[in-house]
A and B are shown apart, each in its own frame.
Chain A
Amino acid sequence: MQKFSVFSLAREAFGRHLGWRPQWRSVAPKPSYDIVIVGGGGHGLGAAYYLAKQHGLRNIAVVERGWLAGGNTARNTTIIRSNYLFEESSSYYEHALKLWEGLSEELNYNVMFSQRGCLMVAHTVHDVQVFKRHVHANRLNGIDNEWLTPEEAKAFCPPLNISPNIRYPVLGAALQRRAGTARHDAVAWGFARAASELGVDIIENCEVTGIDRDPSGKVTGVQTTRGPIRAAKVGVSAAGHSSVVMAMAGIRLPLQVNPLQALVSEPVKPAFPCVVMSNTIHAYISQSDKGEMVIGAGTDSYVSYTQRGGLHIPAHTLEAICELVPDFRRLRMLRSWGGITDNTPDRSPITAKTSVPGLYVNCGWGTGGFKATPGAANLFAWTIARDEPHPINAPFTIDRFRDGTLIDEAAAAAVAH
């Protein structure tokens, strides 16, 4: 692997950049692996990396239906934060945030993680009470989160309109300073490059069409469009297609997929210093390093695998943003798209063993999976390698929907992530 540094950049600059090599090996599937990861997004590639790096397993393949990181990894608004209400959630997301903080060095790949802060804006008395509760709960758990008055929020994010005369006035905001954004592709590419270097085979254009099991029910491999692959363990990290893949092993999941839309504006000069989220009026906005305003909208209500949704959803978000940040009224929107989010009833993920021996699943990340990428990958790898969950992801089982130990971030956080 070519190590990236200022010296390698200078060397290539003098060599007219002709010496750069592909960052990961392109391989055909071998007949057999110890572990097959289904899904080549950030979570799946990261799981393969941590299996190789931390658990010493090298005979691993990642199979991806399309191209690397072409699903929800490419379709989210890259917000990273850990200020969730419940201890179970905040320790999971905080585990991820801590890994984000060292990820560029760990992977020798600039994932452009920028801790520019995330303001969660409150517009109603209820919002104020809920967000203050979040601030206190987070601080008790050792996670930074603070309450700002409207004036303090305006000082932190000058474009914000704090006029009391707008439809949903800003009554205050919760600020997590360690929150921020990262470059979505770089995360997946960084994990792919590092995993490939450790011997992981990354196989694109390889759709899983079946899961093989022996008479005892144990997993023995997968059927794919590029032929059968034997494997002692299979980890499914297929995001929007989790229900489809797991149905091949006869498992029904507590998931429903919905389109979630996002859009970007034309690129402009640096004008927006942080991430601003408003759950009440469904607006999520930050500025990318390219200069585009990256805007997240709400989810469409219905089940769909189309990766697109109704225009009234982003229109609602844009109306809210025009009131909250009046400077942006003349911005033109360049592109919009949708992703298919796999939502659990309690809006918390599943990273767990399943009732089928040798089959593991990491799903249900819904509208908030990007922020968890290194954390989920790390703990999914642990779960697969040791055949038992890490204490952090132990509560995130499938069985919680049977025994009632839900982690009900949906009601508690009042958040669409």
Chain B
Amino acid sequence: MLLIDCPYCGPRAEIEFAYGGEAHIVRPAADVSEAEWEAFLYLRDNTKGVLAERWRHSHGCGRFFNALRDTRTDRFLAFYEIGTPRPETGEAA
């Protein structure tokens, strides 16, 4: 089980959290092309390496936040608030 460090509540067990998928995907304006809409809804980098992802502390404070995690090892590199830029980790994505 992952140990997830909620920026608001501190480290808690994974079962308190809901996964939110890839982070930093911005909803496009309503008049975008089908290709852009497809990319927003469905296409994902599915990164093998450092992935920026969203978590929600659903059985805690209820808030969304972002995390950087290496999907090759499941090791977390950073936790940061929604709306802040992705931190530099010095590791290749």
Knowing A252-B43, A310-B1, A310-B2 are in contact, say whether A301-B19 is a contact too (CB < 8 A).
yes
Q: Which residues does chain A contribute within 8 Å of B74, judged by CB atoms?
A: 304, 306
Q: Which residues does chain B contribute within 8 Å of A257, judged by CB atoms?
A: 46, 71
User: 8 other contacts beyond A243-B44, A401-B42, with CB at 8 A cut-off?
Assistant: A243-B48, A253-B43, A302-B19, A303-B53, A305-B72, A306-B72, A345-B42, A401-B43
Q: State whether B39 touches A252 (Cβ < 8 A).
A: yes
**Is A154 engaged at the interface, CB distance under 8 Å to the other chain?**
no
Residues of B within 8 A of A (CB): 1-2, 14-15, 18-19, 21-22, 34-35, 38-39, 41-48, 51, 53, 69, 71-74
A 291-315 to B, binary, CB cutoff 8 A, 1 in contact else 0: 0000000000111111000111000
Interface residues on A, range: 20 to 34
Q: Which residue of B lies closest to A254 (CB)?
A: B42
B59–chain A nearest beta-carbon distance, Å:
13
Q: State whether A255 touches B46 (Cβ < 8 A).
A: yes
- 29 CB < 8 A contacts A-B: A243-B45, A243-B46, A247-B45, A252-B39, A252-B43, A254-B43, A254-B44, A255-B44, A256-B22, A256-B44, A256-B46, A302-B2, A302-B53, A303-B51, A303-B53, A304-B74, A305-B48, A305-B72, A306-B71, A306-B72, A306-B74, A310-B2, A311-B1, A312-B14, A345-B41, A345-B42, A401-B38, A401-B43, A402-B34
Q: Which residues does chain B contribute within 8 Å of A247, judged by CB atoms?
A: 45
**Is A244 engaged at the interface, CB distance under 8 Å to the other chain?**
yes
Kindly state the separation between the CA atoms of A257 and B48 in the bound complex, as whole angstroms: 10
**Is A403 engaged at the interface, CB distance under 8 Å to the other chain?**
yes
Q: State whether B48 touches A244 (Cβ < 8 A).
A: yes
A 323-348 to B, binary, CB cutoff 8 A, 1 in contact else 0: 00000000000000000000001000
Which of B14, B22, B44, B72 counts the most chain A CB atoms within 10 A? B44
Q: Total contacts A to B, CB within 8 angstroms?
A: 66
Kindly state the separation between the CA atoms of A193 and B38 in the bound complex, as whole angstroms: 41
B83–chain A nearest beta-carbon distance, Å:
22
**Is A177 engaged at the interface, CB distance under 8 Å to the other chain?**
no
B27–chain A nearest beta-carbon distance, Å:
16
Q: State whether B46 touches A303 (Cβ < 8 A).
A: yes
Kindly state the separation between the CA atoms of A253 and B44 in the bound complex, as whole angstroms: 7
Kindly state the separation between the CA atoms of A306 and B48 in the bound complex, as whole angstroms: 10
Which of A302, A305, A310, A402 counts the most chain B CB atoms within 10 A? A302
**Is A183 engaged at the interface, CB distance under 8 Å to the other chain?**
no
A 218-257 to B, binary, CB cutoff 8 A, 1 in contact else 0: 0000000000000000000000010110010000111111
Residues of A within 8 A of B (CB): 241, 243-244, 247, 252-257, 301-306, 310-312, 345, 401-403
Q: State whether B34 touches A403 (Cβ < 8 A).
A: yes
Q: State whether B35 touches A402 (Cβ < 8 A).
A: yes
Q: State whether A312 touches B71 (Cβ < 8 A).
A: no
Q: Which residues does chain A contribute within 8 Å of B42, judged by CB atoms?
A: 254, 345, 401
Q: Which residues does chain A contribute within 8 Å of B53, judged by CB atoms?
A: 302-303
A398–chain B nearest beta-carbon distance, Å:
10
B75–chain A nearest beta-carbon distance, Å:
10
Q: Which residues does chain A contribute within 8 Å of B41, judged by CB atoms?
A: 345, 401
Of B1, B21, B47, B48, the contact of A312 (CB 8 Å cutoff): B1
Kindly state the separation between the CA atoms of A241 and B34 in the bound complex, as whole angstroms: 26
Q: State whether A301 touches B1 (Cβ < 8 A).
A: no
A342–chain B nearest beta-carbon distance, Å:
8
Kindly state the separation between the CA atoms of A406 and B33 in the bound complex, as whole angstroms: 18
Kindly state the separation between the CA atoms of A254 and B53 in the bound complex, as whole angstroms: 16
Q: Which residues does chain A contribute within 8 Å of B34, judged by CB atoms?
A: 402-403
Q: Which residues does chain A contribute within 8 Å of B45, judged by CB atoms?
A: 243, 247, 252
B47–chain A nearest beta-carbon distance, Å:
7
Kindly state the separation between the CA atoms of A403 and B46 in the bound complex, as whole angstroms: 22
A53–chain B nearest beta-carbon distance, Å:
33
Q: Which residue of A lies closest to B69 (CB)?
A: A302
Kindly state the separation between the CA atoms of A302 and B22 in the bound complex, as whole angstroms: 10
Q: Which residue of B lies closest to A402 (CB)?
A: B38
A217–chain B nearest beta-carbon distance, Å:
17
Q: State whether B19 touches A312 (Cβ < 8 A).
A: no
Q: Which residues does chain A contribute within 8 Å of B19, judged by CB atoms?
A: 301-302
Q: State whether A301 touches B18 (Cβ < 8 A).
A: yes
Kindly state the separation between the CA atoms of A71 and B61 in the bound complex, as whole angstroms: 39
Q: Which residues does chain A contribute within 8 Å of B2, judged by CB atoms?
A: 302, 310
Knowing A255-B46, A345-B42 are in contact, say whether A306-B73 is a contact too (CB < 8 A).
yes
Kindly state the separation between the CA atoms of A301 and B58 in the bound complex, as whole angstroms: 14
Kindly state the separation between the CA atoms of A345 and B42 in the bound complex, as whole angstroms: 7
Which of B18, B42, B73 counts the most chain A CB atoms within 10 A? B42
Kindly state the separation between the CA atoms of A312 and B18 in the bound complex, as whole angstroms: 14
